[in-house]
Amino acid sequence: MKATNKSEQQRYAAGMKVRRRVLGEAWVKKATDSSTTFTQEWQAQITRSVWCDVWTRPGIDPRTRSFMTLVLMISLGQWDEFNLHVEAAFNNGLTQDDIKEAILHAAAYCGVPAGNHAFKEASATLAKIGRAPKAIKLREPKTIKVTKQTKAPKTPKP
């Protein structure tokens, strides 16, 4: 592993750059503006450790990180973070179909209830950001004509 000599300030600045690119300026401004003396260190910590130290690593591209984050949030049932990353996924090149595939894959391993809830949450978030999935008109099932069947001959009992 390559050692780094970045100062905490440099890591914070690098983390904020990634955080803004992924989550958007408005979200980051809201998060930083709502910091308190109680939460300020936490905001700095996640900016350095998550957004700089993890998201800037060369081993995984941002698009794949978005997939992973969506699936992890589903598995943990962290719906606020999931919805945040549904919005952010588009900044990393994901499409609605990619988000759907992430949910389907997660549901296979996390369970149907998690998948149901993830689709519900993602649909609401997509609608909120102007990317609502298109409604489809379901066709009525075909009526099956039931015909009178003849009974099979009885076999004699021994």
CA–CA separation, 110 vs 70, rounded Å?
12
Amino acid, res. 65: R
Considering only residues 68 and 143, tell me which one the structure prediction assigns the higher pLDDT: 68
For 155, other C-beta atoms within 10 Å of its C-beta total 6
- Joined together, the tokens standing for residue 123 give 């649909």
Q: Give the per-residue pLDDT at 158.
A: 65
Widest CA span of the chain, in angstroms?
Answer: 91
The CATH number of whichever domain residue 97 belongs to comes to: 1.20.1290.10
Is the confidence at residue 62, as pLDDT, over 60? yes
| Whether 106 contacts 76, CB under 8 Å | no
Q: Give the per-residue pLDDT at 50.
A: 97
- Which of the four pLDDT bands, split at 50, 70 and 90, describes residue 149? low
Q: Give the per-residue pLDDT at 141.
A: 74
Please check whether residues 67 and 115 belong to one and the same domain: yes
CA–CA separation, 38 vs 18, rounded Å?
24
| Whether 91 contacts 22, CB under 8 Å | yes
pLDDT tens, position by position, 26-40? 999 999 999 999 999
Domain range holding 10?
Answer: 1-59
Nearest to 70 by CA among 53, 51, 89: 89
pLDDT tens, position by position, 84-142? 999 999 999 999 999 999 999 999 999 999 999 999 999 999 999 999 999 998 887 77
Please check whether residues 69 and 38 belong to one and the same domain: no
Say if 36 falls within a structural domain.
yes
Nearest to 28 by CA among 16, 45, 44: 16
- Joined together, the tokens standing for residue 142 give 């075909």
Please check whether residues 10 and 38 belong to one and the same domain: yes
